[in-house]
Amino acid sequence: MKIVPDTSVIVDGRITRIVQDEEYKGCEVIISEAVVAELENQANKGRETGFNGLEELKNLQKLHSEGRIHVSYVGRRPTLDEISLARGGEIDAMIRSTAGEYQATLMTSDRVQKEVAEAQGLKAVYLKPEMLEYRDIEVTRFFDKNTMSVHLRENVIPMAKKGTPGNVNLVRIGSRPLRRSKIESMAREIVERAKSDFRSFIEIEWDGATVVQFREYRISIARPPFSDGVEITIVRPVAKVSMDSYSLPDKLIDRLQNMAKGVLIAGPPGAGKTTFAQAVAEFYLKSGSIVKTMESPRDLQVGDEITQYAPLEKDMGKTADILLLVRPDYTIYDELRKTKDFRIFADMRMAGVGMVGVVHATRPIDAIQRIIGRVELGMIPSIIDTTIYIDEGQVKAIYQVALTVKVPSGMVEADLARPVIEIRDFETGNLAHEIYTYGEQTIVMDVGPERREKPPVHRIAEKEIEREIKKRVPQARIKVDMKSDRRATVWIDEEYVAQLIGKRGKNIEEIENQVGISIGVESLQSREIQDQAPVEVDLAGNYVVLQFGKESVGTPFDILVNNDYLFTATVGKKGHIKIKKDIELAEIILDALQKNRPIGARVRRD
């Protein structure tokens, strides 16, 4: 018997098993060079399907060398143009031509290929994609109940992040580095099993990168040229929780159920945003609503009643077009990153669909700031009415968004009234932020109690003064501090002081007339020396430790030795900055200690 397999059955990894069945024992396997060229092209682009197909060809060649089957390669290699048109059927046509020329049976997992072959009078066997009984793939053995993610890379000992959001540790989960061949084997298994498991998908396959959703595991495979080595990252939700687990105030539950139609769930990476989004989706479902999701890749763990949509033809805009026809009550959009995502979210919300978006943000207000400039400012309250900030797996802040017309906080003139977006703390009702336009600028102003020591109008004036100065000395570093409503001090690099003041004070006078504020000019270097504070230095094992205290956690500091800038670093969670002894920065600090030179720090003001 002669058979001609097409690319689909070779990539599936089944042809080797089929030719060993009694029905095909001793058969002649005729492989079109078009198949080899297509697999080679995919492998050169770093795609797992290409590598899987080439591995299957090697397995067939092994059976040939053992005398169990006969393998031959025939035909011509397709041109680059023909390969680029593979999706249009050029390669499939060459494979059918081979089957016809050698009067062989075409084997395919592509239903269209089978129908076309039979229409041309060829004998074809359609191998329906197998749905195998579910079993774990090899990479899942690295997981236990506390594992959030596993990180595998060639020549590196396997690592895993364990714990819960807010309490995560990176630990070793092996004793020896993984060889490249082992990583390659795991990658092949992942792709092959994803094609045969009805709840698994190959979400993305780009040059050097493959993303697979295998049941509850999101798996990213990277290889050269995209990465500098073969790497597999597997992420799994630690827990599936309900809204009851978050102890939310009753009035928020009522708002979500009856009022909120545009919700942003925000937080830093790994904070638990997706877990909370899953809980919201299930909450709306139990409330009697039709719920859908938009995801790329699809990794929300939701019930079968909720359909999860991926980008249609690689375009989430087309997915939105379909959803507008389906008309769900609520759609979970995971996650919003690019301008197009925010605009799709806005279009669906303005069309009347309840929207819940997931967005990365380091502060609660950042979620709203990310949409500024992507849609018209006045539309924001119609698109977003509620933001929920998640950190360490808990709801840390809830904001409500509304539009009003008033004089912004800190301004007093009635004719300064304008549309203002108010961001209020949902539980207390206190005003936290205001967003409005001032001239050509969009101002996002903190007006909470912690920022009231400097009136918002002063901050606006400082920005205006800085902008005017930058027009004249764009290369200089500038700091502005409003001392009163009519007086400000400007600090500028010493070499530009004379240029800013101008001959007989002409330049500074022009700026004063422009902004209506009296301006004093001083050297920035003298201010920086005054702002320095001494730093306590300790030695701990292989580290030089600069002590700042818990109150400075998260604050960036410039580190100076003998009044000369050395480097900038941010104070860690334990209130200090650690530097390895074997690097040059540590050596400079240790040398300064021995010679009693001052070691200081100043808050970074960029």
pLDDT tens for each residue of 473-497: 888 888 888 877 778 888 888 888 8
Say yes or no to pLDDT of 391 above 90: no
DSSP symbol at 375: B
DSSP symbol at 435: E
pLDDT value, residue 526: 62
Work out the pLDDT band at 303, boundaries 50, 70, 90: confident
Termini Cα distance of the chain = 75
Q: How many degrees, rounded to 5, is the angle at CA 463 between CA 460 and CA 469?
A: 145
Last residue of a domain, one of 106, 126, 146: 126
Work out the pLDDT band at 266, boundaries 50, 70, 90: very high
Q: Helix or strand or coil: residue 291?
A: strand
User: What is the distance between the alpha carbons of residues 64 and 70, in angstroms, rounded to a whole number?
Assistant: 5
326 shares a domain with 280? yes
User: What is the distance between the alpha carbons of residues 109 and 411, in angstroms, rounded to a whole number?
Assistant: 70
User: Which residue type sits at 62?
Assistant: K
The residue ranges of DSSP E strands in 272-367, in sequence order, are: 291-295, 307-309, 330-336, 354-360
377 shares a domain with 338? yes
pLDDT value, residue 285: 93
pLDDT value, residue 536: 86
311 shares a domain with 348? yes
Say yes or no to pLDDT of 449 above 60: no
Query: Does residue 132 fall inside a structural domain?
Result: no
Last residue of a domain, one of 528, 552, 586: 528
pLDDT value, residue 238: 62
Q: Provide, rounded to the nearest whole percent, the portion of the chain with pLDDT above 70.
A: 93
DSSP symbol at 86: G
Say yes or no to pLDDT of 289 above 90: yes
**Exposure string (b/e) for 44-67, b if CB count within 10 Å is 16 or more?**
ebbbbbbbbbbbbbeebeebbeee
Nearest to 289 by CA among 269, 303, 299: 303
CATH, residue 538: 2.60.40
88 shares a domain with 42? yes
Classify burial at 557, counting beta carbons within 10 Å of its beta carbon; exposed 0-12, middle 13-18, buried 19 or more.
buried
CATH, residue 112: 3.40.50.1010
Domain count across the chain: 5
What's the whole-number average pLDDT of the chain? 85
Nearest to 423 by CA among 462, 356, 373, 368: 368
Dihedral angle over CA of 578, 582, 585, 588, nearest 10:
120
* Cβ atoms of residues 387 and 361 within 8 Å: no
DSSP symbol at 78: P
| 128-137 LR contacts (CB < 8 Å, sep 24+) | 129/12, 129/195, 129/196, 130/12, 130/14, 130/196, 131/196, 131/197, 131/198, 132/193, 132/196, 132/197, 134/197, 134/199, 134/215, 137/186, 137/189, 137/190, 137/193, 137/214
481 shares a domain with 550? no
553 shares a domain with 511? no
303 shares a domain with 362? yes
pLDDT value, residue 448: 63
CATH, residue 155: 3.30.450.90
pLDDT value, residue 124: 92
Query: Does residue 334 fall inside a structural domain?
Result: yes
pLDDT value, residue 123: 93
pLDDT value, residue 450: 47
Could you report the per-residue pLDDT of 146-186, keeping only the tens digit for each?
Answer: 888 999 999 999 999 988 766 788 999 988 999 998 998 89
Query: Does residue 572 fall inside a structural domain?
Result: yes
Q: What is the helix (H) or strand (E) element at residue 443, kind and residue range?
A: strand 441-446
Say yes or no to pLDDT of 131 above 70: no
588 shares a domain with 573? yes
User: What is the distance between the alpha carbons of residues 264 and 279, in angstroms, rounded to a whole number?
Assistant: 14
460 shares a domain with 318? no
Nearest to 366 by CA among 391, 343, 348: 391
User: Residues 45-56: what's their mean pLDDT?
Assistant: 82
User: Which residue type sits at 72?
Assistant: S
DSSP symbol at 178: B
Phi, psi angles (nearest 5°) of residue 388: -125, 120
* Count of CB atoms situated within 10 Å of the CB of 21: 9
Say yes or no to pLDDT of 413 above 70: no
pLDDT value, residue 428: 84
Query: Which range among 68-77, 294-303, 320-329, 346-355 shows the weakest confidence by mean pLDDT?
Result: 294-303
Could you report the per-residue pLDDT of 4-47, keeping only the tens digit for each?
Answer: 999 888 887 778 888 888 888 889 999 999 999 888 888 887 77
Query: Does residue 54 fall inside a structural domain?
Result: yes
Query: Does residue 498 fall inside a structural domain?
Result: yes
Provide the CB-side half-sphere exposure for 21 (13 A, CA): 8
277 shares a domain with 219? no
CATH, residue 291: 3.40.50.300
391 shares a domain with 274? yes
User: Residues 312-340: what's their mean pLDDT?
Assistant: 91
375 shares a domain with 226? no
User: Residues 298-327: what's their mean pLDDT?
Assistant: 89
pLDDT value, residue 532: 65
User: Which residue type sits at 334?
Assistant: D
Could you report the per-residue pLDDT of 190-241, keeping only the tens digit for each?
Answer: 887 787 777 788 888 888 889 888 888 889 999 888 898 999 999 887 666 7
Work out the pLDDT band at 452, boundaries 50, 70, 90: very low
Give pTM, 2 decimals. Answer: 0.58
Q: Helix or strand or coil: residue 526?
A: helix
Say yes or no to pLDDT of 415 above 80: no
Query: Does residue 22 fall inside a structural domain?
Result: yes
Query: Does residue 133 fall inside a structural domain?
Result: no
Could you report the per-residue pLDDT of 485-529, keeping only the tens digit for each?
Answer: 778 888 888 888 888 888 888 888 888 888 888 888 888 766 655
User: What is the distance between the alpha carbons of residues 280 and 384, in angstroms, rounded to a whole number?
Assistant: 16
Could you report the per-residue pLDDT of 70-127, keeping only the tens digit for each?
Answer: 999 998 888 777 777 666 678 888 999 999 999 999 999 888 889 999 999 999 998 8
Q: Is the peptide bond before 408 cis (omega within 30 degrees of 0)?
A: no
User: Residues 252-268: what's their mean pLDDT?
Assistant: 91
User: Which residue type sits at 592?
Assistant: A
Last residue of a domain, one of 388, 420, 450: 450
Query: Does residue 327 fall inside a structural domain?
Result: yes
Q: How far is CA 131 from CA 125, 127, 192, 544, in A?
A: 18, 12, 11, 58
Work out the pLDDT band at 340, boundaries 50, 70, 90: very high
* Residue range(s) defining the domain that contains residue 173: 138-235
Query: Which range among 382-396, 400-414, 447-461 shows the weakest confidence by mean pLDDT?
Result: 447-461
User: What is the distance between the alpha carbons of residues 466 and 572, in angstroms, rounded to a whole number?
Assistant: 31
